[in-house]
């Protein structure tokens, strides 16, 4: 019985690894910003390696990946967000478009999340 469970576990683990999603690399990303005080929502296009100012925040986009078979299906953006006034890092890591609350910027006034990767220069 235990041997059968072990074989089944190995088989399931192997099939899960075989189903890993192939990703493509975007040329940039589209981010959405929200000023919670004014209610202003802005969509911003960023290129890889670009840093933009949003209020006191400095937002840097390092990388954007997307599912190769469905570019508009999701986006995974590697970002760093720094508060320039306090010179403190507020966020560093991957943001996922389909799960914005999973890895989100924790700030009392501003929200920033990724919408999609840019796959062309237009």
pLDDT at 103: 82
Alpha-carbon distance of 93 to 102, in angstroms, equals 11
Could you tell me which residues come within 8 angstroms of residue 83 by beta carbon, excluding any fewer than 6 positions away? Answer: 56, 57, 58, 90, 107
Task: Select the more confidently predicted residue: 80 or 10.
Answer: 80
- Is 7 part of a structural domain of the chain? no
Q: Kindly state the average pLDDT of the residues 66-80.
A: 90
Give me the number of domains the chain comprises: 1
pTM: 0.78
Range(s) of the domain holding residue 54: 22-118
Q: Is the residue at 2 inside a domain?
A: no
pLDDT score of 48: 97
Work out the mean pLDDT of the chain and round it to a whole number.
Answer: 85
CB 1 within 8 A of CB 9: no
User: Does any domain span residue 38?
Assistant: yes
Number of helices (H), then strands (E), in the chain: 1, 8
* pLDDT of residue 54 exceeding 90: yes
6 part of a folded domain: no
- The answer to the question of residue 45 being in a domain is yes
Q: Does residue 108 form part of some domain?
A: yes
* Residue 52 pLDDT > 50: yes
Q: How far apart (Å, rounded) are the C-alpha atoms in residues 97 and 76?
A: 6
* Residue 63 CA to its chain's centroid (Å): 9
User: Are 29 and 71 spatial neighbours (Cβ–Cβ below 8 Å)?
Assistant: no
Is 15 inside a domain boundary? no
Span 90-121, pLDDT tens digits: 999 999 999 988 888 889 999 999 999 998 75
């Amino acid at each position: 019985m235990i041997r059968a469970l072990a074989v089944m576990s190995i088989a399931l683990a192997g099939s899960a690894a075989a189903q890993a999603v192939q990703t493509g690399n975007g040329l940039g990303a589209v981010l959405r910003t929200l000023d919670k005080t004014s209610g202003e929502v802005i969509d911003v296009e960023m290129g890889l390696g670009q840093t933009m100012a949003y209020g006191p925040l400095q937002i840097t986009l390092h990388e954007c990946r997307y599912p190769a078979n469905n570019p508009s299906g999701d986006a995974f953006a590697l970002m760093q967000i720094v508060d320039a006034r306090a010179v403190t890092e507020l966020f560093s890591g991957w943001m996922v478009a389909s799960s914005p609350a999973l890895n989100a910027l924790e700030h009392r006034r501003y929200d920033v999340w990724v919408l999609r990767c840019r796959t062309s220069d237009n």
